[in-house]
Each structure stands twice: as structure tokens, then as C-alpha cells.
């Protein structure tokens, strides 16, 4: 097939999820978590179960032979995708996480107490925790590349290399900031050391063609679902000479040549690392994914993504009230930002109300965000099917949120006392009458402004247990009636608290206990639309209210 130059519209039209009626307005910017799948990949899954489903065994029946041949055909395709020297260097696994666990187990089995593993602060938890576990088991030491506010100074890698360094396991691209390290620079610094170099290419493989020989690494891991493939299948590349010396990490069927009662002989490469039944349909669909990618002009795809990324950063940088953590240079396609005041989750919920899918949190990179002195961030991550219209939709929605936030903040300014009257003015009917979720959400945020700032109640003893956002609740009883005061940084949580308190404040215990407030939460559609963490927050607050009036 001849390569054509890249058309984002034509590319997007290959992805049926976007054509579903409920997704017509969807702006999907959560690609670093997982990408959508083209029809050819979805079809390949069904095709396998329709025509080829059998477990693999070379010397078995027709279908089994067919499945076996398919697996080895896809392995050869994957070797081509990675530019590995041979299919023997390609191990199928569940994904990058499993591949990194395999490496952490098998490589560290051979190490001695006091040997060192070098990591960086930008790593995904999947490239930290397995090494921590292996280090604890084998008495090894972890060392981190020097960093500035969490961002590794990869050019100072040499400072943490030494005679005991055995493994260097580094990101090929960060899921939290998008930062793509200079792999050639890393390779130069590693020259002359007797160690194994692992590249976590979970993000990299989605945005650039991979050439393990040009990179010069010993191992590389990736997950198909990040590059338009199915979930549950990933690749571990290992240089043949390295894989050959490693002990298997899991035992079972498929990975053995012969089994005795007390000892077994393992299969050759790469099967000795593939115990049990693999995701065979996943492998079939991975084959379709690799073919799909082979037909694309990946240079043009990457150029399109970089254009979007530049616009995204330019747009966000122009919005006052936002802190931008990512940089557009050396970035695979991530914008990470947070409101300067308030809670990033509120912004995420606002965007969700406009059907814009982004992610909020620490993005499995807690050490990075902690070192950066940052709380949770909002992450917008790009794929080649995104358009400039997607980026503009995000920028407009964020600007609207900031404007609303600003007007709420100035309206709340000065009135520092929580008052029952202002809660009494909140009318449930008005909230229920908002037809669209976006309008209801806006109303809920307005309700949140009735809860004024109360630094005096922000004490550990008043924290609402089980609520992910910080939230404080105090209570007093007068003449058999119960009164409450509440505070939180999250506008949504404040809105939910206003909703709850408007139903219980100034009432008697019996009345509060019998009111079906959880039912009200469901009736208002809040259970359906709010994230699990916000729903948990509501229920935690409700429980605390019930406990306070029962004491």
C-alpha cells in the first residue's frame, strides 16, 4: 500500500466510537490513558472469535494451528514495528505494567545485595513500584537522576551511574507532562557501563515510530491500547543476548519444554516468558493495529499532533488564573494545568458537563507532582484524530469556567459568616428544574457560594472522613435542633454540602434521620453524572451528619 499524506478527518472517520449518536459532540482528550480503536481493530477481535478461536498448540487441530500461526505472524509484525533483530526478541504480555514487572523480577534475580537501579522522578508508577519491590526483596538500592522541581535533568544521568549500577529504567515519554527525553543523549551517557537499559515506551510508541536498534536500548515496553490497539496486550522487546540469560518470571503451560516432578526445562525464546494462555484475540487485534499504523504517514500524524499541542499551550498560557505545568517543546502531546485557586476536580467536572473528556489527578506520577509542589492537575492529552476544533472547545470551556469561578469568588467576597438564611433560600425545585446536566451543575456551583470561607473550622478534628477533597464540618445542637457549618476548597463539594445542609440545617434529629437524602442525590441525577470521588464525598458527608445527630 502506498503511503498517503495524513488527513485528520479521514483518520478520525476510521474510529466508529465517534460516529455513535451519544458521542457526536464528544471531545476526547484522554488519550494518554487510552486511545479509541479503529474499526479494523474492533473487527479483528470479532473475526478471531468468529473464525479462529482455539488455544495455540502447534501440533494440534486445524483451528489451533491457525491460532498458533496467527500469534507467530503477529510476533513477526511486532518485530517489524519495533525494528527488533528477530521475532525471538518479542514477548507478548498484558501491557507495559506487566512487562516492567517481568523485568524487575527476572533482571533483579541475578543481582547482588548493594547493586543499583537508576530511575527518574518522571516515571509512571509502573516504572517505580516493581523496582521498589525487587529492591526490597533483593537488597538493592534505587537512585534517582537529579531533578528540578520533579523534572529530571537527564543530561546529569552520569552523576548517578557507578560501578554498582546494573539497571537504568527510564521513561521514553511522560504520561503526566508529555516530556520526551533525548534518548540519544541518554545512550551516550550510558556508553562504557555494564548495565541493562530499559525504555518505558508506553507513551512514546503512540506518537513516534519505534526503532529499538537505533535507540540502542536492551529492553523496551509498550501497551497496544495506547496506540489505537486493544487493551490487555502489550509488547516487551528484549535484546536476544539479554533475554537468553534471564530466568522466567512466571511458570505454567506454554513456557516449558519438559516438566518433571521436581524440575522442568523451559521453552526457548521468547515462549519461556509467556506462561499460560495469552490474550489471543488481543494478539489478533494487535496485528490489525500494527497494519493500520503501517499504512499511516506517521511523520505527518506527529506533525498534526504537534500543531495541536502548540495551540493548546498557547491558549492555556493566555488564560489568567491557570498554572501550566507542561511545556510544548519535547512533548509527545500532553498539556497539564491546574486552576491557581480552588480544586482541579471542579474544572474537570465542568469540562465533563460539556462532554470534554480530560483527566484530573496525579496521573500515576505522584513523586513528580510532589517534587513539583503541585496538587492534582488537569491533563489534556492528544491523539492524531483530535482536531483544532477539539482544542478550541477545551479552551473556550476552560475560559468559561474561570470566568464563572471569578464571578462566584467576587460575589462571595467579604461575607465571611455562614448563615442558615442563605441556605434556606436554596430551592430544591430550582435545582431540579435545570434540564441539562450542564445547567444543573452550574446551579450546584452557585449553591456552593452560600458556603463561606471558614478558616476557623479547618481543623483536623473537623475533617469529613472518606471525602477525597479536603472538607470540614462542625455542628451544634440548640433546643433539640441541629445546626451545621461547612467548608471546602472544592466548589462542587461545597455545592453538594449546600444541598445537604439545606435539607437538614435547623431540623430535629428524627427528621434528619428519616429523610432519604441518598435518594435525593440519585433523583437529581447526581449519582449518574458526578465522579465516584464526588459521590463518595456526598455520602461521606451524609454519614457524618447522621453520626453527629445520633451522638
386: contact with ligand PMP by CB under 6 A: no
Least separation in angstroms between residue 95's CB and ligand PMP is 3
> Does residue number 150 form part of the binding site for ligand PMP (CB under 6 A)?
no
Q: Which residues within the stretch 344-373 sit at the binding site for ligand PMP (CB under 6 A)? A: 364
Among 8, 38, 95, 448, binds ligand PMP (CB under 6 A): 95
Active site residue 93: no
Binding region for ligand PMP (CB under 6 A) out of 95-103, 413-421, 438-446, 459-467:
95-103
Per rule CB under 6 A, is residue 175 in the interface with ligand PMP? yes
User: What distance in Å separates the CA atoms of residue 449 and residue 406, rounded to the nearest whole number?
Assistant: 11
**Span of 39-47, 61-69, 91-99, 451-459 interacting with ligand PMP by CB under 6 A:** 91-99
Nearer to ligand PMP, 229 or 495 (CB): 229
Contact residue for ligand PMP among 171, 462, 502, 503 (CB under 6 A): 171
Under rule CB under 6 A, residue 334 binds ligand PMP: no
Residue 326 or 462: the one with the smaller Cβ distance to ligand PMP is 326
User: How many residues touch ligand PMP (CB under 6 A)?
Assistant: 13
How many other C-beta atoms can be found within 10 angstroms of the C-beta atom of residue 303?
12
CB of 210 to ligand PMP, least distance (A): 14
Q: Interface residues for ligand PMP in 192-211 (CB under 6 A)?
A: 200, 202-203
Locate 123 and state its grid cell.
Answer: 516515571
Minimum distance of ligand PMP from residue 125's CB (angstroms): 8
Work out how close the CB of 172 gets to ligand PMP at its nearest, in angstroms, rounded to a whole number.
8
State the CB neighbour count (10 A cutoff) for residue 185.
12
- Residue 30 CB, shortest distance to ligand PMP, in Å, is 11
**Cα 355 from Cα 394, distance rounded (Å):** 10
Query: Of 106 and 171, which has the nearer Cβ to ligand PMP?
Result: 171
Q: Which is nearer to ligand PMP, 106 or 381 (CB)?
A: 381
Min CB(371)–ligand PMP separation in Å: 17
Residue 77 contacts by C-beta under 8 Å, 6 or more apart in sequence?
287, 290, 291
* Residue in 126, 347, 360, 542 binding ligand PMP, rule: CB under 6 A: 126
Contact 40, 291 (CB under 8 A): yes
124 binds ligand PMP (CB under 6 A): yes
Q: Which residue has the cell 435518594?
A: 519
Enumerate long-range contacts of 212-216, CB under 8 Å, 24 or more apart. 212/82, 212/83, 212/84, 212/237, 212/239, 213/83, 213/84, 213/85, 214/83, 215/183, 215/187, 216/187
- Smallest distance, ligand PMP to C-beta of residue 48, A: 21
Nearest Cα to Cα of residue 379 among 361, 402, 393, 394: 361
Q: Which is nearer to ligand PMP, 175 or 488 (CB)?
A: 175
How many other CB atoms sit within 10 Å of the CB of residue 70? Answer: 17
Q: At closest approach, how far in Å is the CB of 380 from ligand PMP?
A: 15
Q: Of the listed 108, 217, 222, 364, which one is catalytic?
A: 364
Q: 482544542: which residue's cell?
A: 391
Instruction: Give the interface segment with ligand PMP, choosing from 81-89, 119-127, 435-443, 508-516 (CB under 6 A).
Output: 119-127
Three cell numbers, residue 196: 541493562
Query: Which of 97/503 has CB closer to ligand PMP?
Result: 97
- List, in order, residues 6 or more apart from 410 with CB less than 8 Å away: none
DSSP symbol at 21: G
- 382 Cβ partners below 8 Å, 6+ apart? 29, 31, 305, 308, 309, 312, 333, 334
CA distances from 318 to 299, 321, 323, 403, 455 (A): 29, 10, 11, 14, 32
Residues 77-98: b if buried by 16+ CB within 10 A, e if exposed: bbbebbebeebbbbbbbbbbbb
Indicate the DSSP class of residue 505. T
CA distance 69 to 156: 46
Shortest CB 270 distance to ligand PMP, Å: 19
Q: How far apart (Å, rounded) are the C-alpha atoms in residues 78 and 28?
A: 27
Give least dist CB 295 to ligand PMP, A. Answer: 24
DSSP helix/strand/coil, 282 = helix
What CA–CA distances, in Å, run from 437 to 148, 352, 440?
Answer: 42, 10, 5
In whole angstroms, what is the distance from residue 71 CA to residue 56 CA? Answer: 8
Closer of 35 and 223 to ligand PMP (Cβ): 223
By CB under 6 A, residue 35 contacts ligand PMP: no
Quote the CA–CA distance of 293 and 227 in Å, as a whole number. Answer: 9
Asked if 97 is part of the footprint of ligand PMP (rule: CB under 6 A), the reply reads yes
Closer residue to ligand PMP, CB minimum distance, 124 or 147: 124
**C-beta of 95 vs 448, nearer to ligand PMP:** 95
Our finding on whether 289 is near ligand PMP (CB under 6 A) is no
Report in angstroms the alpha-carbon separations of 27 from 383, 390, 400. Answer: 11, 6, 16
Output 221 or 395, the one with its CB closest to ligand PMP.
221
Q: Map residue 9 onto helix, strand or coil.
A: helix
Instruction: Out of 31, 120, 223, 345, point to the residue binding ligand PMP (CB under 6 A).
Output: 223
Distance, CA of 143 to CA of 119 (rounded, Å): 6
Chain contacts with ligand PMP (rule: CB under 6 A): 95-97, 124, 126-127, 171, 175, 200, 202-203, 223, 364
Catalytic residues: 364
Amino acid at each position: 500500500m502506498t503511503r498517503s499524506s495524513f488527513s485528520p478527518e479521514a483518520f478520525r472517520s476510521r474510529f466508529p466510537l465517534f460516529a455513535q449518536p451519544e458521542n457526536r459532540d464528544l471531545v476526547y482528550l484522554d488519550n494518554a490513558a487510552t486511545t479509541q480503536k479503529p474499526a479494523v481493530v474492533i473487527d479483528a477481535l470479532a473475526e478471531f472469535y468468529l473464525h479462529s478461536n482455539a488455544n495455540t498448540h502447534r501440533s494440534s487441530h486445524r483451528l489451533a494451528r491457525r491460532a498458533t500461526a496467527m500469534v507467530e505472524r503477529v510476533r513477526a509484525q511486532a518485530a517489524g514495528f519495533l525494528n527488533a533483530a528477530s521475532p525471538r526478541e518479542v514477548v507478548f504480555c498484558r501491557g507495559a505494567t506487566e512487562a516492567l514487572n517481568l523485568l524487575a523480577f527476572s533482571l533483579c534475580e541475578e543481582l547482588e545485595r548493594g547493586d543499583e537501579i537508576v530511575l527518574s522522578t518522571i516515571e509512571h508508577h509502573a516504572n517505580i513500584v516493581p523496582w521498589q519491590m525487587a529492591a526490597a526483596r533483593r537488597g538493592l538500592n534505587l537512585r534517582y537522576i537529579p531533578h528540578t522541581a520533579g523534572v529530571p535533568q537527564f543530561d546529569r544521568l552520569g552523576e548517578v551511574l557507578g560501578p554498582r549500577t546494573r539497571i537504568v529504567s527510564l521513561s521514553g515519554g511522560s504520561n503526566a507532562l508529555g516530556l520526551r527525553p533525548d534518548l540519544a543523549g541518554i545512550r551516550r551517557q550510558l556508553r562504557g557501563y555494564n548495565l541493562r537499559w530499559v525504555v518505558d515506551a508506553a507513551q512514546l510508541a503512540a506518537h513516534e515510530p519505534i526503532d529499538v536498534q537505533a535507540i540502542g536500548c536492551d529492553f523496551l515496553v509498550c501497551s497496544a491500547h495506547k496506540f489505537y490497539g486493544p487493551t490487555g496486550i502489550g509488547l516487551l522487546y528484549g535484546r536476544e543476548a539479554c533475554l537468553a540469560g534471564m530466568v522466567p518470571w512466571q511458570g505454567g503451560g506454554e513456557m516449558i519444554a519438559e516438566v518433571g516432578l521436581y524440575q522442568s526445562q523451559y521453552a526457548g525464546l521468547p515462549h519461556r516468558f509467556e506462561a499460560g494462555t495469552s490474550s489471543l484475540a488481543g494478539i489478533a487485534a494487535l496485528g490489525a493495529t500494527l497494519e493500520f499504523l503501517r499504512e499511516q504517514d506517521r511523520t505527518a500524524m506527529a506533525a498534526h499532533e504537534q500543531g495541536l499541542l502548540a495551540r493548546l499551550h498557547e491558549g492555556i498560557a493566555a488564560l489568567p488564573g491557570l498554572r501550566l505545568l507542561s511545556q510544548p517543546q519535547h512533548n509527545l502531546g500532553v498539556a497539564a494545568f491546574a486552576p491557581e485557586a480552588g480544586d482541579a476536580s471542579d474544572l474537570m467536572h465542568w469540562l465533563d458537563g460539556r462532554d470534554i473528556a480530560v483527566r484530573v489527578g496525579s496521573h500515576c506520577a505522584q513523586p513528580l507532582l510532589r517534587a513539583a509542589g503541585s496538587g492534582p492537575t488537569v491533563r489534556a492529552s492528544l491523539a492524531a484524530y483530535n482536531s483544532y476544533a477539539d482544542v478550541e472547545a477545551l479552551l473556550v470551556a476552560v475560559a468559561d469556567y474561570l470566568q464563572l469561578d471569578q464571578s462566584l469568588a467576587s460575589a462571595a467576597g467579604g461575607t465571611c459568616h455562614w448563615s442558615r438564611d442563605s441556605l434556606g433560600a436554596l430551592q430544591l425545585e430550582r435545582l431540579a428544574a435545570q434540564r441539562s446536566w450542564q445547567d444543573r451543575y452550574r446551579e450546584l456551583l452557585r449553591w456552593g457560594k452560600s458556603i463561606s470561607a471558614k478558616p476557623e473550622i479547618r481543623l483536623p478534628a473537623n475533617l469529613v472522613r472518606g471525602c477525597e477533597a479536603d472538607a470540614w464540618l462542625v455542628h451544634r445542637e440548640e433546643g433539640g435542633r441541629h445546626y451545621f457549618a461547612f467548608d471546602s476548597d472544592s466548589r462542587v463539594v461545597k455545592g453538594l454540602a449546600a444541598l445537604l445542609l439545606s435539607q437538614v440545617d435547623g431540623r430535629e434529629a428524627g427528621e434528619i434521620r428519616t429523610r432519604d437524602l441518598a435518594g435525593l442525590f440519585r433523583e437529581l441525577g447526581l449519582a449518574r453524572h458526578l465522579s465516584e470521588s464526588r459521590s463518595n464525598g456526598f455520602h461521606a458527608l451524609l454519614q457524618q451528619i447522621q453520626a453527629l445527630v445520633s451522638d
